[in-house]
Structure 1
Amino acid sequence: MHRLYFILFLAIATIQVSHAQEGAKVNEYILQQEQLKKTMLLRQLDSGVYYMDNGNYITADAKFQYVLDNIKSVPSDLTFYFGKNSFYMGKYKQSIDWLNKYIQLKGTNGQYSQDAAQWLKRAEAEYITQRTQDPKVVGQILSTNYDIDCGPSGKVTCPVCKGEHVVVKRAAFGNEYKTCGYCNEHGLLTCAEYNQLLRGQLKPRE
């Protein structure tokens, strides 16, 4: 009887190990496919940069939009490239939005931080002119529709308080100082919180 129980135990254990191995193989396959897809999308991104640098902004725009629509989290570099290319195409509101995202993510230490700040100033100036001349500007692709990849740290400086953890409001009898209701005590948001804030879904802390 004991031997029968032992054989049953071994059979069950073998089945469980086999299932676990199959599950691990499936997970590994899924990860490999996701990595392959990401690699192909990053090649499309590089291709878009090539076309942009060579003045073919429409093709670059198509490449960037394809990456945006198919990647899980938008790389920070793409926010810069898409913002810059949008400027070339006269989509200044779109350019401002994406360049702002790059600056929020990278601050002053990013590879393209200085360039992003310069393009942002140009886009803001052109947008003011554009609104004066043609208020019916459509077809803008804004970053609120996408999840932005915040990088390896997973943290972003809060755009509400600029990382100060204090919001300053002008009042009749001087400035009012209020603790920021969105970030932690260090003025930071998690990547999930940052993306929720972009979509207007992040509720202030109690």
Structure 2
Amino acid sequence: MRYLLLLLLTALAYQTSFAQSKVDEYLMQQEQLKKTQLLRELDSGVYFMDNGDYVTADVKFQYVLDHIKSVPSDLTFFFGKNSFFLGKYKQSIDWLNKYIQLKGTNGQYSQEAVQWQKKAEVEYVKQKTQDPKVVGNILSTNYDIDCGPGGKVICPVCKGEHVVVKKAAFGNTYKTCAYCDEHGLLTCVEYNQLLRGQLKPKNAE
């Protein structure tokens, strides 16, 4: 009797585990399908931007931002570039800066991102002095940024040097960076926490 009961419990546990794995597989497929659809929306936004319809492109990019779990690095570039054409220069600087932080000089759009960022900075200065009206901006601190397959990002605080240099009256002072590892890198979680001001220094004084 005990053997039959054990056999029954084993079979039940197996069925439960099998059912759960099927549910997990289904949810994973749905998540992948959703991501594929969102990436199509992203491509559609790029199409409209390249054809000068910046308002429609903005709608497409914002839709992706509002529905994707982790923002792809390419979207940080496209959204930043498109924001420039809409006259949202602060927003443009912020998102293009994120792309440059993530990709450095090796990204597909790195050179272009630096060029658009410089243009946005010039226009932003003009905008602040000429137009007192505050333009609403969607800033990257409200989103989780996807750091790519490596899962590591060069620390924007020390620029990957692991040392922060401060200019003083009697010469420069050097301090170990309080946020990154010994290689000047942050994990993706740490990077997103830093963007939101939530990352605590590791060696706070």
Task: Percent identity, please.
Answer: 75
Cα separation, 2, equivalents of 1:174 and 1:188: 27
**1:83 corresponds to:** 80
Residue type at the aligned position of 2:122: A
**1:201 corresponds to:** 198
Matches within 5 A, 1:51-200: 51-200=48-197
Aligned length: 203
Q: Compute the displacement of 1:146 (Å).
A: 0.1
- Paired residue for 2:29, among 24, 29, 32? 32
**1:9 corresponds to:** 6
SS in 2 for 1:151: coil
Cα separation, 2, equivalents of 1:191 and 1:74: 12
Q: Compute the displacement of 1:43 (Å).
A: 0.3
Q: Deviations over 1:49-89 (max 9, x none)?
A: 00000000000000000000000000000000000000000
SS in 2 for 1:108: coil
Cα separation, 2, equivalents of 1:63 and 1:171: 47
Residue type at the aligned position of 1:74: V
Q: Runs of 5+ in structure 2 lacking a partner? A: none
Q: Compute the displacement of 1:134 (Å).
A: 1.2
Residue type at the aligned position of 1:198: L
Cα separation, 2, equivalents of 1:117 and 1:36: 33
Cα separation, 2, equivalents of 1:180 and 1:9: 58
Task: Name the Cα RMSD after superposition.
Answer: 0.5
Residue type at the aligned position of 1:71: I
Q: Compute the displacement of 1:136 (Å).
A: 2.7
Cα separation, 2, equivalents of 1:50 and 1:199: 31
Q: Compute the displacement of 1:157 (Å).
A: 0.2
Q: Compute the displacement of 1:137 (Å).
A: 2.0
